[in-house]
Amino acid sequence: MIACKHLILLTSLSLGTCFLTAQTVPVDALPVTVDLKNEAAVNTEGLDFSPTFYEDGIVFISTNTAGLKKRTDEKLKLPAMSILRSRRNAEGELQVPEPFAKELSSLYHEGPVCFDPTAQTIYFSRNAIIGGKVKLAKDDTQKMRLYSSKKQGDVWGEPTPLPFNNNQFDDCHPVISIDGDKLFFASNRPGGFGGMDIYVSYKVGESWSEPVNLGAEINSKGNEAFPFVHADNTLYYASDGLGGQGGFDLYYVIPEDGSEWTKPVNLGEPFNSTGDDFGLIVDLNKINGYFSSNGKTSKGGDDIFSFHTENGNLDDFLLQNQRVPDRTLDLAVTVTDKLSGNVIGNAEVRVLNYDANTVIGRDENGNLITIKNVDGKDVMMALPPDKGITGVTNAQGVFTTEVRAGNYVVIVTKEEYQTKQLRLAISKPGNALTAALEKAEFSGKVRWNASVFNYVTNAPLAGAMLVLTDQQTNTKDTVIADANGLIDHYLERQSKYKIDLYQAGRHIGSTDINTEGWSLPNQIMMQNFSVAPLMPGTVIELPNIYYNFNDATLRPDARKDLDLLVSLLKQQPTVTIELASHTDCRGTSKYNQDLSQRRANGVVEYLVQKGIAADRLKPVGYGESEPRNRCRDGISCTEQEHARNRRTEVRILTGIQGASMVYVDGKPNLDATAASPNSTASTSTGNAPGGKSNVPPKILMPHRPIR
C-alpha cells in the first residue's frame, strides 16, 4: 500500500496515505501576532495531520486507529491511516478523537478528506480497492485513488472512484472550491514538473473533467501537495522544491487574470520550520486555523497545531511581514464634505508607504539607515526617504493611482478643511476608500503640529505611529509621522492624552500631553518628540556580509553593509557593538570556531581602518553553533543553504545615548503636561525644530521593545 504523505517523503512504500477592498486599519492598531497551540488531545506518538473543518470541530488523518481495524505499514511500522473526528469544547479546544465514519474505513490507508459546500458529499484518498479487492500497480504497490461518497441519513454511502483515477500513479489530497466546481489535488501522474504536482479538475454535470496541471509557477521539480482553497480563492499548499526552510514549507498563491496565479509566497515563521509543515486550513475570516508539522515541539512524527491571529487576520500578518506577491494594485480615494456629503474636487492626496522600517540614522548620501524585519530577522539597510505619491482629486472628488502591496497612509488636505489621515493595508486588487473632511472653523479643536526624531542623529522617524488615548473618554486615535517625521493633526480642547509611540511594531515610548488653555482658533500647538529605538541586546543582521567556503577574507560585496555600519557608529559615538561571526557546519567544531573568530576579527579590522575606535567593537566567533536553517552535521544541504550560515551579525552592547527616554521639546516638563500656549503657540505652520536643548530632558517612560 502507498500513503501519499509518506510517498512524497520516502518514495514508494509498502502501505501509505494520500491524502477587495482596501482595509482601513483601526485607530488603535497594534502589530498583528500569531499564536500557536499544540492540540495535545488529538496528537499521538504516531502521525496526526491534514485537518479539515467539519461542523463543530475537525476531521483529520491519524495512525491512531481509535478502535478501527487496520493493517500495519511495514515501512512506517505504524497502523494504516484512519479518518478521525475531534469536536471542540466550549473553550474551543479539540477533544479526544473518535472514528469519523466506520463505513468508510478499510484495512488500508484513508485520507486526507474534504467536503463539498453542503457537507453532504465527502472526497477522500484511499489505497486502491476495486470490487472490494486490493488492486496493485505494475510496480507491485498499492496506489492512492480519489473517491467520493454521499451522505445517506446518518451514514455515508458506498465510495465511488473519480473518473480520472489511474491505477499506475497516485491521486490524493483533495480539496474543493467554495462554489463546488473545482477540485484541487496532488498527483505524481506523468507530464508533471517533478514528483507530486497540484492539479485541478472541473465539475462537468455530475462528473469531473480530465485534470489540468496548475503549471510551473506553482509546481517545481520537487513535490507540491496538501492544497487548501479558501473562500477568497487563495490557494495554500506545501512544497519541498521552492527553497524553503527545510522539508515541506507552506506557501500561498492568489489567482489573477483568469487562469494565471501570482508567484508562490512562503508563509514564513511561525508556520514554517526546518521540518515538514503542511496541511494548513484557515477559517472564513482568516483569524483561526490549523496545520500540521513535525518540525516543532511535538509528541510524535506529525502533530496538529491550531493558530489564532491577534489584532488582525492572516492576510494582515503576512502583509505586515511583507510576505505578499509583488504586483501592481489599484487604489481609488474619494474625498467628500463630511457635513453635506458633496464631493470635493482639487483636494491634495498624498499616499505614503510605511512598511515595518525603523529609522536609526542617515548615511553619507542622505538615505535613511533603517532596521527592517525580514522573516523575523532585523536587517540594516539604506533606503531613500519615501516622498510618496501625490495628486489631486478630479471634479468627481476621486484620485486614482497604482501601488505595490504594503501598509499605507493616505493624507488628504484641502484649504479650509482639517487634514485627514487614513491608514490602510493593501494586498489585493480593488482598493477604495472615502475621506470625509470636516470644515476647520467648525471643528472646535486644537491644531497640533509635532515632529518625531531620533534623539542623537535628528533623523526623522518616518512612519512612526502615535496612538493617542483621550484619558477622559478612553477613545483612541492614530496618527502617522510623514517622511520628514512630521504630524499635522487636530485634538479635542480641554483634554488630556496619553501618547504611545510605535515603530516597526515596537513600542518605543510613552508620554502625555493636554490641551487645557488652548482656545484661540489660530493657535497651533507645536511639539518635538525625540526618541531612540535601539536598545542593548538588539541584533541586526548584515545581509551582505558573506564569506567564501573555508575563508576568513571579507568579500568585496561586504563593504556596502560595513560602510553603512561605519556611518551609524560615527553618528552615534556612545554605541558599542559585538560583531558575531558564524560558519556553516562543514569541518570540525574547533576549526569552525577558530574560523569564525578570524572572520569577526577581520570585520573589526575593517571598521578600525574606517575610523571606529577598537574599544567600541567586540569580535566574537560562534562557529557552527547557531545555524539559521536546517544545515547541521549529517544533513545534506545545497551550497546556497550553507552560504546562509556564513554570516556576521551586529549585537548592540551599549545603547544609543538616551535610548531609554522620550524627550518632549528637549527640556524639563515637571508636570508631565504639554507646554503651555504661551510658550509654544504659533500662528504659523512652520516645522517644529529638530534640535536638542542644552537643558537636561525629562525622563518620561522607559523604552519597551516588543520582541
Maximum CA extent, the chain? 93
Here the CATH number for the domain that contains residue 547 is 3.30.1330.60
- Give Cα separations from 669 to 276, 455, 490, 494 (angstroms): 56, 17, 22, 19
287-291, 378-382, 638-642: range with highest mean pLDDT? 287-291
Residues 607, 605: Cα–Cα separation, whole Å: 6
Domain check: are 218 and 85 in the same one? yes
Q: Can you tell me the mean pLDDT for 175-189?
A: 95
Here the CATH number for the domain that contains residue 93 is 2.120.10.30
C-alpha cell at 546: 558573506
Contact criterion met (CB below 8 Å) for 462 and 439: no
C-alpha cell at 311: 489584532
Contact criterion met (CB below 8 Å) for 345 and 286: no
pLDDT score recorded for residue 157 = 95
Asked if residue 366 belongs to a domain, the reply is: no
Residues 44, 646: Cα–Cα separation, whole Å: 38
Q: Which segment of 325-329, 445-449, 494-498 scores lowest on mean pLDDT?
A: 445-449
pLDDT score recorded for residue 510 = 78
Asked if residue 305 belongs to a domain, the reply is: yes
Domain check: are 415 and 451 in the same one? no
Q: Which of 416, 442, 468 is the last residue of a domain?
A: 442
Q: Which segment of 201-205, 309-313, 454-458 scores lowest on mean pLDDT?
A: 454-458
Cell 474543493 identifies what position? 176
Residues in the chain: 707
Q: Which segment of 210-214, 294-298, 504-508, 613-617 scores lowest on mean pLDDT?
A: 504-508
pLDDT score recorded for residue 374 = 63
79-88, 240-249, 412-421: range with highest mean pLDDT? 79-88
Domain check: are 80 and 160 in the same one? yes
pLDDT score recorded for residue 5 = 60
Domain check: are 424 and 512 in the same one? no
Domain of 258, in residue numbers = 4-320
Of 331, 342, 330, 338, whose CA–CA distance to 395 is shortest?
A: 342
Question: Helix H segments across 18-102?
Answer: none
Residues 119, 150: Cα–Cα separation, whole Å: 9
pLDDT bin (cut points 50, 70, 90) of residue 542 is: confident
0.85 exceeded by pTM: no
Domain check: are 210 and 313 in the same one? yes
C-alpha cell at 88: 471542540
pLDDT score recorded for residue 23 = 40
pLDDT bin (cut points 50, 70, 90) of residue 688 is: very low
- Give Cα separations from 462 to 386, 387, 512, 524, 535 (angstroms): 8, 11, 21, 22, 19
pLDDT bin (cut points 50, 70, 90) of residue 251 is: very high
Residues 418, 412: Cα–Cα separation, whole Å: 9
pLDDT bin (cut points 50, 70, 90) of residue 678 is: very low
Asked if residue 373 belongs to a domain, the reply is: no
Residues 135, 112: Cα–Cα separation, whole Å: 20
| pLDDT tens digits, 479-488 | 888 777 888 8
11-20, 135-144, 187-196: range with highest mean pLDDT? 187-196
Task: Label each residue of 330-384 as H, E or C.
Answer: EEEEEEEECCCCCECCCCEEEEEECCCEEEEEECCCCCEEEEEEECCEEEEEEEC
pLDDT score recorded for residue 539 = 78
Domain check: are 415 and 346 in the same one? yes
User: Which DSSP helix (H) or strand (E) runs through 589?
Assistant: helix 589-609
Domain check: are 11 and 103 in the same one? yes
Asked if residue 368 belongs to a domain, the reply is: no
pLDDT score recorded for residue 116 = 93
Asked if residue 378 belongs to a domain, the reply is: no
Percent of the chain at pLDDT > 70 equals: 79
Strand 420-426 vs strand 23-24: parallel, antiparallel, or unpaired?
Answer: antiparallel
Per the DSSP assignment, residues forming a β-bridge with 378 are 373
Q: Identify whether 619 is preceded by a cis peptide bond (ω within 30 of 0).
A: no
Asked if residue 374 belongs to a domain, the reply is: no
Domain check: are 246 and 211 in the same one? yes
Asked if residue 21 belongs to a domain, the reply is: yes
Average pLDDT, rounded, for the chain: 81
Distance from CA of residue 416 to its chain's centroid? 40
pLDDT at 495 over 60: yes
pLDDT at 262 over 90: yes
C-alpha cell at 594: 577558530
Domain check: are 461 and 480 in the same one? yes
pLDDT at 354 over 90: no
Here the CATH number for the domain that contains residue 434 is 2.60.40.1120
21-30, 86-95, 612-621, 675-684: range with highest mean pLDDT? 612-621
Domain check: are 285 and 399 in the same one? no
Residues 201, 564: Cα–Cα separation, whole Å: 53
Task: Label each residue of 542-586 as H, E or C.
Answer: EEEEECCCCCCCCCHHHHHHHHHHHHHHHHCCCCEEEEEECCCCC
C-alpha cell at 33: 501576532
| pLDDT tens digits, 97-127 | 999 999 999 999 999 999 999 999 999 999 9
Angle at alpha carbon of residue 705, lines to 420 and 702, rounded to 5°:
90
pLDDT at 650 over 60: yes
Provide the number of structural domains found in the chain: 4
Q: Can you tell me the mean pLDDT for 256-268?
A: 87
Here the CATH number for the domain that contains residue 680 is 2.60.40.10
| pLDDT tens digits, 654-669 | 765 444 445 565 532 2
pLDDT bin (cut points 50, 70, 90) of residue 682 is: very low
Q: Identify whether 163 is preceded by a cis peptide bond (ω within 30 of 0).
A: no
Q: Read off φ and ψ for residue 683, nearest 5 degrees.
A: -95, 0
Strand 121-127 vs strand 110-115: parallel, antiparallel, or unpaired?
Answer: antiparallel
Q: Can you tell me the mean pLDDT for 445-474?
A: 81
Domain check: are 416 and 560 in the same one? no
Asked if residue 586 belongs to a domain, the reply is: yes
Domain check: are 467 and 333 in the same one? no
pLDDT score recorded for residue 1 = 64
Strand 576-581 vs strand 617-621: parallel, antiparallel, or unpaired?
Answer: parallel
Of 119, 99, 113, 168, whose CA–CA distance to 146 is shortest?
A: 113
Q: Which of 654, 677, 694 is the last residue of a domain?
A: 654
User: Which DSSP category does 115 fall into?
Assistant: E
pLDDT bin (cut points 50, 70, 90) of residue 444 is: confident
Q: Can you tell me the mean pLDDT for 307-321?
A: 90
The count of C-alpha atoms lying within 13 angstroms of the C-alpha of 141, restricted to the half-sphere facing its C-beta, is 22
The total of other beta-carbon atoms located within 10 Å of residue 251's CB is 23
Q: 525 Cβ partners below 8 Å, 6+ apart?
A: 446, 447, 448, 449, 491, 513, 515, 518, 674, 675, 677, 680, 681
